[in-house]
Each structure stands twice: as C-alpha cells, then as structure tokens.
Amino acid sequence: MRIAHNDVALKNAVTTASAEAQAAFGDPSVYIEKFVENARHIEFQILGDTQGHIITLGERECTIQRRHQKLIEETPSTALTSSLRSKMAKAAIRAARAINYSNAGTAEFLLGKDGQFYFIEFNARIQVEHTVTEEVTNLDLVKEQFRIASGEALGYSYVRPEGCAIEARVNAEDPDHNFTPCPGVIKRLHLPGGPGIRVDTHVFSGYTVPRYYDSLLAKVISWGRDRNEAINRLAGALDEFTTEGVKNTAKFCAQVLRSDRFRRGDLSMDMVDSFVSRSK
C-alpha cells in the first residue's frame, strides 16, 4: 500500500506497486482507493440466520495497529455518537442482507475525522477480536455459528452490550526492533488472571514458536464496568504476561494502554509508530 498526494507520486506508486504485484503474483493489476487521513478502523459484528434474521452486536474499534495489522481492539468505540453508531450499524446490516448472509460476519469501515465512513470489506468468518464482543454481550459466538449452521433461528432481535471490553494481541515479536518476529522455545510461560481477565492461547512452557506462521501467541481480554476499569485491568494483566526465551508485545501494549492519548480515546493508525519512534 502506498499513499500518493499528487500526480507524480501517484504515477510512481502505481509503477512500483504494479511491478511488485507482477513479481509476487504474476499479475500486475493494482487498484486505487481514496486515502482517508487519520482514519479510525471500526467494524461491526454481524449475526445472520438461515431464516433471514440479521442483527449487529455492536462495533469494535480496531485502530491500534502495527504494519496495518490489528494489535489492540475494544468495544464500544470512543469515536461513535449514538447517531453515527446507528448509521454504521444499518450500513453493516444492509451489506449482509444484500448477499443473504447467514453466519457470524464482520463489516469493516474506515471512519474519517469528519464523521464520514467508508466500507472496506466484509469478513465472512469469525474474527480474532470476536472475544471483546463476547465479553460485553455474554454470547458465545462460536456456539452461535453452530446454531446457525444447524438451521436454528437466532431467537433474539437485539442484544444490549454491557460495560467495556479490550483485547491485546500478544505476538512473538520484538517491539524495539520494528516488531521483528521472534521464533524460539518458550522456556517458561506465565499467564495472567484475576477479575475481568480472559486469556485465549495455544502455547505452553516448552512450546516452540515456529518461524513459518502468524506470530500470535495469545489474546488477553479485559472487561470493565467502564473503559477506565477495562484499561487498568488489561494493562495490569499484560505486565504479568511472561514468555521466557521469546520476546513478545505484552509490555508494549500495556504502555499504549496507559498513555494519556489512549485514555482520552484519541486514536489513529499512526499511534503505534509514534510510540516506537519515541522509544528509540
């Protein structure tokens, strides 16, 4: 992905991207999209059954990213008013209804500073960050997928989220060196716990982190009666997360969570870059 602010930059970007596409995929095709400056990444969780019932379970804020990959997700978003939330939810449902969608799915948008939002994609699957929706709705979304697949009706038309939930992805990466992957053996693993804390993971002490796949080690999720409580709980849990022998992003995520900017809800996709540059 490249940003072009003028005709010359656009020509160079298309030429370079086309050459890369040809070399990597044997297809030089590229496409151009509007660049939304200082955008926020907002997505809506969809559930649709085979009887035509489609609802949203609220939004997830996925703006905190590194290399265009999500790192911290939360619900609700601090960027949405009730009116904007309603508009985006209706757009998400409209997209799902247009394809007669049944399953759990996610409609993803970019939100500009001017309140305009733009459709990115529709993910026809469960998302990594579905956990934060589960925490505020008390629904098991994987179970709901099985119910839908077996032909059952949803049985509800509205679910009211309660509280705030935040997820941090703990990756086997070195934040001090541009999030370089860190494969190796986890000599000792310590997972956090406590009120309002959930950890989803597949790793264990002695586990070998391979170099061939996604670097995700675990998801640490907090729930709080309000956003501040959720932040404090998650930051404290991440302090405890230990993978001796393999570097991880837990402490970095805790640093982001505790920052004044995050607490204010003043988020943008360049936020991680600003933390990295300050630490150098």
Are 168 and 72 in contact by the 8 Å Cβ rule? The answer is yes
With residue 85 as reference, give the H or E element that holds it: helix 82-98
Residue 227, φ and ψ in degrees, nearest 5: -65, -40
Query: Which listed residue (2, 125, 188, 211) is catalytic?
Result: 125
Q: Is 160 a catalytic residue?
A: no
Residue 25, φ and ψ in degrees, nearest 5: -125, -5
Bridge partners for 188 per DSSP: 244
> Tokens 């796949």 correspond to what residue?
213
Which among 19, 228, 230, 220 is positioned nearest to 131, based on CA atoms? 220
DSSP secondary structure code for residue 175 in this structure: G
114 is written with which tokens?
Answer: 């001017």
Which among 139, 190, 195, 198 is positioned nearest to 168, based on CA atoms? 198
Distances (CA, A) of 256 to 21, 217, 263: 34, 19, 9
Q: What's the Rg (C-alpha) of the chain? A: 20
Distance CA(100)–CA(51), nearest Å, equals 10
Which among 190, 41, 194 is positioned nearest to 129, based on CA atoms? 41
Distance CA(55)–CA(156), nearest Å, equals 9
Q: Point out the residues that are catalytic.
A: 125
